Amino acid sequence: MDDVLAQFTAEVTRALVATGQVPADLIELATPKPNIPTDLAFPTFKAAKALGTAPPALAAALAAALTLPPDGLTGTVTTFGPFLNFSLHPERLAVAVISLIRATGAHYGHQQIGAGRRMVVDYSAPNVAKRMHVGHIRSTIIGQALVNVHRALGYTVIGDNHLGDWGKQFGVVLASVERDGTPTGQGEAVLAALEAQYARYAADAKADPALDEHARLWSLRLEQGDPQARALWQWSVDLTMDAAQRNYDRLGVAIDHAYGESFYEPMLAEVIQAALDHGVAFREAGGAVVVEALDQMPTFLLQRSDGGTLYMTRDVATIHFRVREFQPTHIVYVVGEPQALHLRQLFALVRTMGYAKTTELTHVAFGTVFDSAGQPLSTRRGNMVYLETLLDDAVSRARAVVEQKSPELPAAEKQAVAEAVGVGAVVYNDLYQDPKRNLTLDWERMLATEGNSATYLQYSHARCRSILRRAAEDGSAAQPDALALLIHPSETRLLKHLARLPEAVREAGKRYAPFVIADWCYTTAREFGVFFEQCPVLKAESPALRAARLALVAATATALKNGLSLLGIKAPERM
RNA sequence: GGGGCUGUAGCUCAGUUGGAUAGAGCAGCGACCUUCUAAGUCGUUGGUCGCCCGUUCGAGUCGGGCCAGCCCCGCCA
The domain defined by A118-370 folds into: Rossmann fold (3.40.50)
Residue A11: Cβ within 10 Å count: 17
Q: How do A118-122 and A156-160 pair as beta strands?
A: parallel
Q: 3-class SS at A314? A: helix
pLDDT at A478 (0 to 100)? 65
pLDDT at A373: 78
Query: Is any atom of nucleic acid chain B found less than 7 Å from the CB of residue A298?
Result: yes
Q: Which nucleotide is nearest to A304 (CA to C1')?
A: B75
The full DSSP string for A14-25 is HHHHHTSSS-GG
Cα distances (Å, whole numbers) of residue A206 to A199, A202, A222:
11, 6, 22
> Please, what sign has the CA dihedral across residues A291, A292, A294, A299?
positive
pLDDT value at residue A477: 64
Q: Is the Cβ atom of A526 within 7 Å of strand B at any atom?
A: yes
What is the reported pLDDT for A2? Answer: 79
The ipTM, to two decimals, is 0.96
Q: What residues are paired with A160 via a beta bridge?
A: A122, A257
> Which residues of chain A between 337 and 366 are close to nucleic strand B, CB under 7 A?
337-342, 365
Looking at residue A473, its amino acid is: E
Q: Where are the alpha helices (DSSP H) in A42-88?
A: 45-51, 55-65
A69 touches strand B (CB under 7 A): no
Domain ranges of chain A: 4-88, 118-370
Per-residue pLDDT at A554:
97
Nucleotide nearest to A442 (CA to C1'): B12
pLDDT at A445: 87
The secondary structure element, H or E, covering residue A326 is helix A311-326
CB-based contacts of A15, cutoff 8 Å, min separation 6: A66, A67, A68, A69, A74
Sort A29 into a burial class: Cβ within 10 Å, 0-12 / 13-18 / 19+. middle
CATH of domain A4-88: 3.30.1360.70
Q: Three-state SS for A486?
A: coil
Please tell me the pTM assigned to this model: 0.95
pLDDT of residue A372: 79
The distance (Å) linking the CA of A562 with the C1' of B36 is: 23
| The total number of residues written for chain A in this structure | 575
Q: For residue A1, what pLDDT is reported?
A: 55
A260 CA → B48 C1’, Å = 53
A57 Cβ nearer than 7 Å to chain B strand: no
Q: CB neighbours of A317 closer than 8 A, spacing ≥ 6?
A: A264, A267, A268, A270, A271
The CA distances from residue A319 to A59, A314, A322, A489, in Å, are 53, 9, 5, 53
Instruction: Give me the residues paired with residue A88 across strands.
Output: A74
A473-480 CB contacts, 8 Å cutoff, 24+ apart: A474/A538, A476/A538, A476/A543, A476/A546, A476/A547, A476/A550, A477/A547, A477/A550, A479/A543, A479/A544, A479/A546, A479/A547, A479/A550, A480/A544, A480/A547
H or E stretch at A317 = helix A311-326
pLDDT, averaged per 10 consecutive residues of chain A (575 residues), comes to: 89 94 91 90 93 93 94 94 95 97 97 96 95 91 98 98 88 91 85 91 88 88 89 92 95 97 94 96 95 92 92 96 97 96 97 94 95 81 89 95 94 97 96 94 89 97 97 76 92 97 97 98 97 95 93 97 98 96
Task: Find out whether A240 and A130 touch, Cβ atoms under 8 Å.
Answer: yes
On strand B, nucleotides with any atom < 7 Å from a protein CB are: 2-6, 12-17, 19-27, 35-42, 57-58, 70-77
Nucleotide nearest A125, CA–C1', reads: B77
H/E run at residue A206: helix A187-207
Give whole-number Cα distances, A107 to A104, A121, A253, A561, A567, in Å: 5, 22, 19, 10, 14
| Separation between the CA of A316 and the C1’ of B74 (whole angstroms) | 16
pLDDT of residue A224: 84
